[in-house]
Amino acid sequence: MAYVSMGEAHRRITECLNRFCDAVSYQDSSTLCRLLSFSSNSPSLLSLADALNVFQDASSLIRQSDKFSDYGEILAHLFRSLQSYRVGNLVEAYLAYEKFANAFVQEFRNWESAWALEALYVVCYEVRVLAEKADKELTSNGKSPEKLKAAGSLLMKVFGVLAGKGPKRVGALYVTCQLFKTYFKLGTVNLCRSVIRSIETARIFDFEEFPRRDKVTYMYYTGRLEVFNENFPAADTKLSYALKYCNPNRERNIRMILKYLIPVKLSIGMIPNDELLRNYNLHEYKKIVQALKKGDLRLLRHALQEHEDRFLRSGVYLVLEKLELQVYQRLMKKIYIIQKQSDPARAHQLKLEVIAKTLRWLEIDMDLDEVECIMTILIYKNLVKGYLAHKSKVVVLSKQDPFPKLNGKPVGS
């Protein structure tokens, strides 16, 4: 930190106070955003923080002027937060920013127009990010992380302010997305439901009037929720919407969407091409796709084991594990095709012993009872058309379309 004289510190603080008050008076949202965005680490904010840590009595400057004192509570908490943030005391920075945010939201509520909506977005974002950093600090000191939970309560309060009639309501979806990020981070995704109900059933909201950026984020998170609920058609619709309207220059965001959309597509029988996996560095799915194409159960299991930690973290492991049934279907189809070439008259009769031998070749040891169980499931799930002749240990396949395609529907639907 460079040396700052008392006079220079006084000048910087006074300049910031004037900029804040002028931004409110002239409804200059962009200037206001820059003053509130700690995470930007802008040189002007850092130099202000240095000045505050030298002067130490900014509250007296605020009280001395009627112009500043109108926003005294807002500014005092903002300055205290910035001071703590500059010296790395993130818990104190969050606590002060939370008080500032509450005061700012109250002031925002009194403003008739939505001119400060972008500034409110910055406040919501900074509250969440600061809370995450504060929780890391608490955890490192052996204390219970609790600030992100508090941030969620504050964001819910902001949502309530925006969930009404008038121009401010278009901001509700942005706050909803910040709530989603908070709940997903906390592992309390069940709390998303009440907000979703408000957005999707309340008559005051028209989804199409929200900004595209927020609609894409909303569809991404609600699509992930549908994945967790194994509602794959709904997940496909939401995640496909997010992919279609995502900014094509945001490759990282596209990759995040595809991380969930690909397992969904695979679950409904739609296989992505190699170019897509290559372009977005989604190599973890390459062997899984190959296993589905080849009917190679061993390859699928190896791929799941190789990337187990990654799939578990993203919550798609169980979805991918259930692809085994499709791999079995593909394997049965390959056996059927080979048998049709060698003995066309009996192509529709698959002996369980032949299936067991094929599995052993893939280093998967199953007795005939286990093979019979697998075939029963495939028939029940409509992945194979036919019936089991239990006594003769044979699967008798339908002569018409014995291996139905999923055609975009989940297994067993």
12, 72, 78, 291 from 9: Cα distances, Å: 5, 19, 16, 66
Tens digit of pLDDT for each residue in 357-413? 999 998 889 999 999 999 999 999 999 999 998 888 999 999 888 999 887 777 765
Q: Which residue has the tokens 């925006």?
A: 162
Average pLDDT over residues 182-188: 95
Q: Is the pLDDT of residue 203 over 80?
A: no
Q: Is the pLDDT of residue 127 over 90?
A: yes
Query: pLDDT band at residue 2, thresholds of 50, 70 and 90?
Result: low
Residues 6 or more apart whose CB falls under 8 angstroms from that of 372 comprise 352, 388, 390, 393
Domains in the chain, CATH or no CATH each: 6-210 (no CATH), 323-397 (1.10.10.10)
Quick check: 175 and 158 in contact, CB under 8 A? yes
Q: Which residue has the tokens 């008050």?
A: 21
Average pLDDT over residues 326-351: 89
Phi, psi (deg, nearest 5) at residue 387? -150, 165
Tens digit of pLDDT for each residue in 286-315? 999 999 999 999 999 999 999 999 999 999
